[in-house]
Amino acid sequence: MAVLDVLVYPDVRLKKVSIAVTSFDEALRRFLADFDETLHAMPGCVGLAAPQVNYFHRIALVDVSGKPGIPHNGRLLLINPEITEREGEAVGREGCLSVPDYTGNVVRATRIRVRAQDADGIYREYACEGYEARAVQHELDHLDGLLFLDRLVSRRDLFRRKVYR
């Protein structure tokens, strides 16, 4: 096991679109072990996408369980993930391991359903809200070569709040 190096913008590799995982084999397992170790070696970091560690396959890991008082699904390994439903929008501040010393405001859906395979290739579905939903959307963007910098909104947009019901 090893902590993997994280690519840092403006590295152009962060703009690559990752390809689907097709074989759930020993090589994948080995990568996942390092990937998991890498996320947990980064203090305060709640998610990581495979392309951030120079592995251009559609894999993301989200774990917001360390944040007190928020709903979450525990450690979420998302392979070939797809967001099947999204609802609401909210502005929130984001930063990124791949973009040191800069944070900014981004609009994200407040509730999502995400369908993804696990380490064995089994399809699973998760409902995420709030902070966890934001983390999932942030990580899935990496799989499409997008950074939060691609979605920054101006300060005026701070007044765009959660959708009123």
- DSSP conformational letter for 3: P
CB 126 within 8 A of CB 86: no
CB 97 within 8 A of CB 147: no
Burial class (CB in 10 A: 0-12, 13-18, 19+), 14: buried
Of 75, 158, 160, 163, the one binding another protein (CB under 8 A) is 158
Of 4, 21, 46, 114, the one binding another protein (CB under 8 A) is 46
- Marked catalytic residue, from 26, 82, 132, 139: 139
Q: How far apart are CA 148 and CA 145, in angstroms?
A: 10
Which tokens go with 13?
Answer: 């590799």
Of 27, 101, 164, 165, the one binding another protein (CB under 8 A) is 101
Q: Considering beta carbons, is residue 58 or 134 the nearer one to another protein?
A: 134
139 counts as catalytic: yes
Q: Is 131 in the site for another protein (CB under 8 A)?
A: yes
Of 6, 18, 28, 94, the one binding another protein (CB under 8 A) is 94
In whole angstroms, the minimum distance from the beta carbon of 115 to another protein comes to 20
Q: Is 44 in the site for another protein (CB under 8 A)?
A: yes
Question: Which residue shows structure tokens 């395979």?
Answer: 117
Q: Which residues are catalytic?
A: 139
